[in-house]
Structure 1
């Protein structure tokens, strides 16, 4: 049996080390990564994996040398250290897993620009997923090690108790089964295909976290691993998970109570606008809501789905008397919600809107800070929106207009590059009035607008654009002075040019859109960031909900 445990331990070491190396190689596309150009995400990923590995090794070595565990160590050999060391890592991870969704706490902490530059708060969803994946792995290690331990106990006790009874009927056994099943159901229901097609299945199943944490609190209280006779406390201090769990539990319960209180404040939908390309704009009167440009809110419509809360970025400026969001109608919930608002989308009449007399009541949670809030912390900012991903920047562009008209406003921002890519030409109508107004202000080169049409045009559409462009002062497609580019933007070329135009400058690059394009922009930021202290540096931030 000792050989099996050695192989298991070796597998754990090799898995984590290989995982770190492959993670860096695949993401940077280099065999030997240049650490000076790695973004903070990758460095934090290395730290996250390294902490797990270090904690496992330290726990393993401490258990291997613990003088009060000589009896059980002689019986279970490496299985004792493997199971208990993995349990310590599980305690650490489970104690952290709720922090990423304490949105109020994160919004408060990220106000510090120094901390925000170091800690990628806007990757909270990805961090939660990483913790979950790590929990699954260490749970696998813990469970397999204890199954071997149960077999050894059965052999040493001549079949009484059996390994099966220890695994299923003993205190540690049945609580372990409950924890494992709850974790499995939460992980499988959180897959993207399940969330998109059956959100309420995901929502209800994820509330098995109550069972999961309850099982963890009980799991260590049965004193399966006992200290040597005569060495004092046989249970060696009793269960340990509560020490890891207490802070996050208090914070999360406070968060949930605040969320319920905020969600029940009075709201009123004052205006509904149906835009091209299946987009609906709603304006909500909410005097008690204080917002900042670039923030987002969660919206719940009890008439459509009682438990579904969906995030949307604000497209209104803090100076406006209402809050607004633009919603792309792509799924069951957004389709039902837009229909309830009176919108009718179809091939024959895409702009038909009949507003009902009684608009639905909506609940709002937020607003919360996001990556886009930091736009004004840089001298130069690049805003990249893909399709409906432009919504965070609509609020920021409006805020720029208001700040321009307030000479007393202290604005560090000196230059903004706005890049908007759309597949459909009709989508450029969503915020055309805002962009046209900003162009009319003639902001002395403060704002540069670059529109990219990535979808194809029909022959007659292309001909009309060519004819209307000849001698025109504005673009035939967007009615802006800035010309429209056709095709995908080359971000390597764009960022290389910015490094030349803005030497020795920290440039913020903010993106909202699909993951594939995000990876392209992120790698370009790392490529063109200069490692020297006075070099141009690109700081990348992506919207995550």
Structure 2
């Protein structure tokens, strides 16, 4: 096996494919993205081995010259007489076929090399960080002035959530709602490019991304931006960034529908930040290309800290749309799907043993929390968690009721359902779209997994 070209290349191809497939598992991609990223570059070995594998000429066929003296149709049943003059069938001669895999590989490889060249060119284009908002271990707010040709000095603001926001500018950069870019930080890694959804609107003079700190690379980026330091970060210490993109997603079609349902889970809310901001800009500019008349927005969040950065946007939209008499244009519901142990009601903590299975106890405590929350804050004008007029809900939406109500309110409409969230939620929403689509109302499902 290891003494022939076919044997060596076959083993190399098999090992490369095994590593690529195993590192593609979701648990690897989410928890060890670097392993996923680097092992997938073994495709180079895979294709090189695939091209040279044929040079071993293991697969053999009858030569053209031999076919003239031994026609398989005539001589197949006369194999006992092969080589005898009276049979007219010479002994067939076989030879390995010349390798032809390169014909199928060279085209895709040329396209790949062109894409790499475009990425290299884009990576050398200057990217200016105009603002960084990052989580911090410290309760201070830091403001830095960068030496840039901007009307206002950009800032680095530290707050306690687990989301890093980068606002950047790049010459000639153009985007649409819901698109994403690949970001590289050379001071962290010169080889790694990570995809992040853009949270800015096309109408804004910058582009931004919100990055959840969950792995080694995002942690290193957070530290490179000075998030782990209590002292003021100097402008020259901010890392250089490289941007490739933007690239399209299903969210770009959002303005093609009269009615839109936006469903985001956790950090999956990021593409909808771009959409909601763009909707606002288009309406104040009286853009006639927007057909959307109503937006239903649902955000499912596991913890209150995650509300921090996006609630500011919703508060701004809430005020501005009220001023423009557009309060009915956007309906939103925010769901807190999890809670800390310290948030469990006091009375539930005194039980020595569970009175029901644990999920039932949690459901009871969740309802208790919601009732207590409404009892204390029902007269407050704004929700104490988000600062919005719409109160925060506990638990998860009843999707059957939500789809039924929307279908009743908007007959003879096509409703675009856009999801950025886990696959399990996607399956549930897709099922609801199919079950509630009728002759007079259609629910069109679009998803973007994260």
Matched, 1:453 2:336: yes
Matched, 1:320 2:199: no
Aligned pairs, number? 370
1:214 alignment partner, one of 48, 64, 75: 48
Cα offset, 1:263, TM superposition? 1.6
Matched, 1:428 2:310: no
| Aligned mates of 2:416, 2:371 — CA distance in 1 | 38
| Aligned mates of 2:338, 2:7 — CA distance in 1 | 57
> Is the contact made by 1:420 and 1:452 (CA closer than 8 Å) also made in structure 2?
yes
Cα offset, 1:180, TM superposition? 1.2
Cα offset, 1:213, TM superposition? 0.8
Matched, 1:355 2:260: no
User: How big is each residue's C-alpha offset from its partner over 1:158-216, in whole Å with a ceiling of 9 and x where there is no partner?
Assistant: xxxxxxxxx44334333222211221222233334444555444333322211211121
Q: 1:278 aligns to what?
A: 162
1:365 alignment partner, one of 229, 233, 244: 244
Q: 2:386 aligns to what?
A: 478
Query: Structure 1 length normalisation: TM-score?
Result: 0.62
User: How big is each residue's C-alpha offset from its partner over 1:48-103, in whole Å with a ceiling of 9 and x where there is no partner?
Assistant: xxxxxxxxxxxxxxxxxxxxxxxxxxxxxxxxxxxxxxxxxxxxxxxxxxxxxxxx
| Aligned mates of 1:333, 1:469 — CA distance in 2 | 41
Q: CA RMSD in A?
A: 2.7
Q: 1:271 to 1:458 in 2, by over 3 A?
A: farther
1:231 alignment partner, one of 49, 67, 72: 67
Equivalent position SS for 2:446: strand
Q: 1:290 aligns to what?
A: 174
Cα offset, 1:236, TM superposition? 8.9
Q: 1:513 to 1:355 in 2, by over 3 A?
A: farther
> Is the contact made by 1:171 and 1:219 (CA closer than 8 Å) also made in structure 2?
yes
Query: Structure 2 length normalisation: TM-score?
Result: 0.75
Q: 1:394 aligns to what?
A: 273
Equivalent position SS for 1:231: helix
Cα offset, 1:464, TM superposition? 8.2
Q: Which has the higher strand share?
A: 2
Matched, 1:517 2:351: no
> Is the contact made by 1:298 and 1:366 (CA closer than 8 Å) also made in structure 2?
yes
> Is the contact made by 1:465 and 1:476 (CA closer than 8 Å) also made in structure 2?
no
Cα offset, 1:535, TM superposition? 4.2
Unaligned runs of 5+ in 2: 69-92, 135-158, 347-368
Query: Map of 1:2-21 to 2, 5 A cutoff?
Result: none
Q: 1:425 to 1:237 in 2, by over 3 A?
A: same
User: How big is each residue's C-alpha offset from its partner over 1:325-348, in whole Å with a ceiling of 9 and x where there is no partner?
Assistant: 111111111112112212249xxx
| Aligned mates of 1:505, 1:231 — CA distance in 2 | 68
Equivalent position SS for 2:67: coil
Unaligned runs of 5+ in 1: 1-166, 346-351
Q: 1:299 aligns to what?
A: 183
Equivalent position SS for 2:167: strand
Q: 2:261 aligns to what?
A: 382
> Is the contact made by 2:60 and 2:97 (CA closer than 8 Å) also made in structure 1?
no
Matched, 1:537 2:442: yes
| Aligned mates of 1:380, 1:520 — CA distance in 2 | 20
Q: 1:267 aligns to what?
A: 127
> Is the contact made by 2:167 and 2:207 (CA closer than 8 Å) also made in structure 1?
yes
User: How big is each residue's C-alpha offset from its partner over 1:417-446, in whole Å with a ceiling of 9 and x where there is no partner?
Assistant: 110111222322212232123223132522
Cα offset, 1:523, TM superposition? 2.4
2:435 alignment partner, one of 508, 527, 543: 527
Query: Map of 1:54-133 to 2, 5 A cutoff?
Result: none
Equivalent position SS for 2:393: strand
> Is the contact made by 1:468 and 1:476 (CA closer than 8 Å) also made in structure 2?
no
